[in-house]
Amino acid sequence: MIEKMKLLHITGPKGDIDRAVKFYLNKYDIHFENAMQSLGSMKNVRPFVETNLYKEAMQRGEELKEYLDSPGDGTIEMRAAQAQGIVDEVYGQIKDVRGRQEELRERSLEIKAWMEEIAPFIGLDFELSKLKDFRFIDYQFGRIKVEDYHKLERYIYKNPYTLFYECNNDSKYVWGVYFVPHTHLMNVKSVYASFHFEEIEVSDKFQQTPRQVFTYAKDELEKCERELERLQLQVCEIAMGRKDEILSACKSLESYCRNFDIRKYAACTQANDGSEEYYILYGWMARQDADKLEQEIAQDPNIHWEEEEGNAKICPPTRLKNPGILKPFEMFVEMYGLPAYNEMDPTLFIALTYTLMFGIMFGDVGQGACLMIGGLLLYRLKRLRLAGIVGVAGVWSVIFGFLYGSFFGFEEVLPAVWMKPMDNIMTTLMLAIGFGAALILIAMALNIINAIRAKDYGRLLFHQSGIAGLICYGFVVLCALLFVTGNGLPATIIIGIAVGVPLIAILLKEPLSHLVERKSQIFPEGSKVMFFVEALVEGFDVVLSYATNTISFVRVGAFALSHAGMMGVVMTLAGLEKGSPNWIVIVFGNLLVAGLEGLIVGIQVLRLEYYEMFSRFYTGSGKPFISFNKRD
């Protein structure tokens, strides 16, 4: 069923909106509508536009929570101003410490850069600052691949104008510095470049040797890290001293920040004397929730409400409310589309018809019991809606398994309570078509109920699934039933009137609907000749749809036969007739048939639901109920 809704019109002082949401509206599921869409034509009404005042404080609060050893939920209720005050106060206490931490982190990065720069040349036992005092000698630090270094050694051995000092090496590179007289710099540099020597800039500001510089940098880095640890402990101590206050403030600010989005649904207006501004909210609530909210805010002088009646601009949202056993089947309804607010909820219908048809097409006590147990367990443990549907469908499979006398494909273990499908194939198929005709008639009756609810009299009287369609199709089904059972048919003139008159009404449904609704223009614009041509084509389509929709249900019987046939093949392959069956073949055959046919039957039944039945009585044009509290 569809839960009944109330549309509440809530107003209050503009500055009080956050308190109202936090202490009242957050307790309930409310589907808010955009107030400007309903009030946009009124004067002195404008959108509620504000910058989020709580976002910065919330971000600071989240930073403070990082210093707590075990974050959780606060226990103190506080308003926004109090929460902001606590966060700002604690944040101010640790601001200087955090500034010092940032300086130390930058210092650590600088020291690490030094160490990375100087580490490859730690083998040079010469003070770096003295290199810049050379007047006639130039130098260049760098690295070269090991294989190129062996070639370079031969060149250096023969060249009296350069000296290469190896500082460090590994399996891939050799690091070092070469010296060259200033007068031969360009030539020697070109030669080193030809050996793929990669130049590395090393600062000459250091006063000591690379090893001494590296050791000094390492000691400085350790000092920085120790100081950072001390400052971190100091900050944690400050934060832990006010842990509960910080957590409560963060919880409150998070709530206010999240609820700030309420403004996009609200409108603002000003008092007649211009003294104060007010917010306006429109929201749908379940009737029982709305009654509770009204009682709560009745004593609050800052909040005013009234129930909105008959607002044509705002369509009620749809929220399904069904018993637990029907909840899984809401998935199929949602896949097609939620019912409109004044439309019938088809959940019960699809729950009964889907599982019933599944059982007819997949009747087996053993396999059905496996589907039932597995589906219900999965639904219980994982809350998978599809598993719940499979579990209920398995119940019907077990029932029809007893009616067919089938147990894991063994046809002789259980006696058939009703019939074995393979014993009378034609009867099985005819019963399936008759079952389908009955379901189509039920769908037409549901369409009539929906048309009455929607006060759509044209659809009620002249639609192919309305009263005219019900009379036309129902009389044909009655005649077919009389013929099959061997009874006499009604007189030809009665058949002609009972079938022909409703069919003509269906063909002329548009002008007849206009006539019933007392519209000034009976026939649609355009040529009347073309209208009647289109009506004849549409009439042919209606008759054809009646026939094809009915015949489509033959698959219900066909799959019942298919299941018996496939299990017969499995038993033949297992050698059941020889008296010593191969149980491995029987087990795997049952698994294959249950998995493959169960999937196909599930899809085919859903197709029958959507195309042969839902299309006759259900539009699925509903707007989903989206609770402000449970939004993503």
pLDDT by residue (tens digit) across 252-268? 888 888 888 888 899 99
pLDDT by residue (tens digit) across 550-607? 999 999 999 999 999 999 999 989 988 777 888 999 999 999 999 999 999 999 999 9
Residue 368 has pLDDT above 90, yes or no: yes
pLDDT band at 517 (very low <50, low <70, confident <90, very high): confident
Residue 154 has pLDDT above 60, yes or no: yes
Which pLDDT score is estimated for 618?
93
User: What is the C-alpha to C-alpha distance for residues 48 and 43, in angstroms, rounded to an integer?
Assistant: 15
Angle between helices 385-404 and 365-382 (to 10 degrees): 160
Q: How many CB atoms lie within 10 A of CB 238?
A: 15
| Strand boundaries in 170-260, DSSP class E | 173-181, 198-199
pLDDT band at 41 (very low <50, low <70, confident <90, very high): low
Query: What proportion of the chain, given as a percentage, has pLDDT over 70?
Result: 97
Residue 274 has pLDDT above 70, yes or no: no
User: What is the C-alpha to C-alpha distance for residues 587 and 594, in angstroms, rounded to an integer?
Assistant: 11
pLDDT band at 346 (very low <50, low <70, confident <90, very high): very high
Residue 311 has pLDDT above 70, yes or no: no
Residue range 375-381: mean pLDDT, rounded: 94
Which pLDDT score is estimated for 257?
86
pLDDT band at 503 (very low <50, low <70, confident <90, very high): very high
Residue 478 has pLDDT above 60, yes or no: yes
- Three-class secondary structure of residue 208 per DSSP: coil
Which pLDDT score is estimated for 632?
56
State the span(s) of the chain assigned CATH 3.30.70.260: 5-48+266-308
Q: How is residue 299 written in tokens?
A: 């004593």
Query: What proportion of the chain, given as a percentage, has pLDDT over 90?
Result: 45
Class of domain 5-48+266-308: alpha beta
pLDDT band at 310 (very low <50, low <70, confident <90, very high): low
For residue 204, what is the DSSP state?
Answer: S
HSE (side-chain half, CA atoms, 13 Å) at 313:
11
Residue 506 has pLDDT above 60, yes or no: yes
Mean pLDDT of the chain: 89
Q: Which of 510, 516, 507 minimizes the C-alpha distance to 469? A: 507
Which pLDDT score is estimated for 63?
86
State the span(s) of the chain assigned CATH 3.30.70.2750: 128-205
- Do residues 535 and 507 lie in contact, with contact meaning Cβ atoms separated by under 8 Å? yes
**Burial class, 180, CB count within 10 angstroms (exposed 0-12 / middle 13-18 / buried 19+):** buried
Which pLDDT score is estimated for 561?
94
pLDDT by residue (tens digit) across 197-237? 998 888 767 778 888 888 888 898 999 999 999 998 998 88
Which pLDDT score is estimated for 40?
59
Q: Which of 19, 2, 221 minimizes the C-alpha distance to 118? A: 221
User: What is the C-alpha to C-alpha distance for residues 243 and 238, in angstroms, rounded to an integer?
Assistant: 9
Amino acid in position 270? Q
Q: How is residue 610 written in tokens?
A: 């959507």
Query: Which residues have CB under 8 Å from 450's CB, separation 6+?
Result: 343, 344, 617, 618
Beta bridge partners of 198: 143
Q: What is the DSSP string of 459-513?
A: HHHHSTTSHHHHHHHHHHHHHHHHHHTTPPPPPHHHHHHHHHHHHHHHHTHHHHH
pLDDT band at 78 (very low <50, low <70, confident <90, very high): confident
pLDDT by residue (tens digit) across 94-126? 888 888 989 999 999 988 888 888 888 888 888
Which pLDDT score is estimated for 569?
92
N- to C-terminal Cα separation, the chain? 26
Candidate from 338-352, 403-417, 506-520, 611-625 with smallest mean pLDDT: 506-520
Residue range 443-447: mean pLDDT, rounded: 96
Which pLDDT score is estimated for 510?
86
Q: How many residues does the chain have?
A: 632
Class of domain 128-205: alpha beta
pLDDT by residue (tens digit) across 159-204? 888 888 888 888 899 999 999 998 888 888 888 888 889 988 887 6
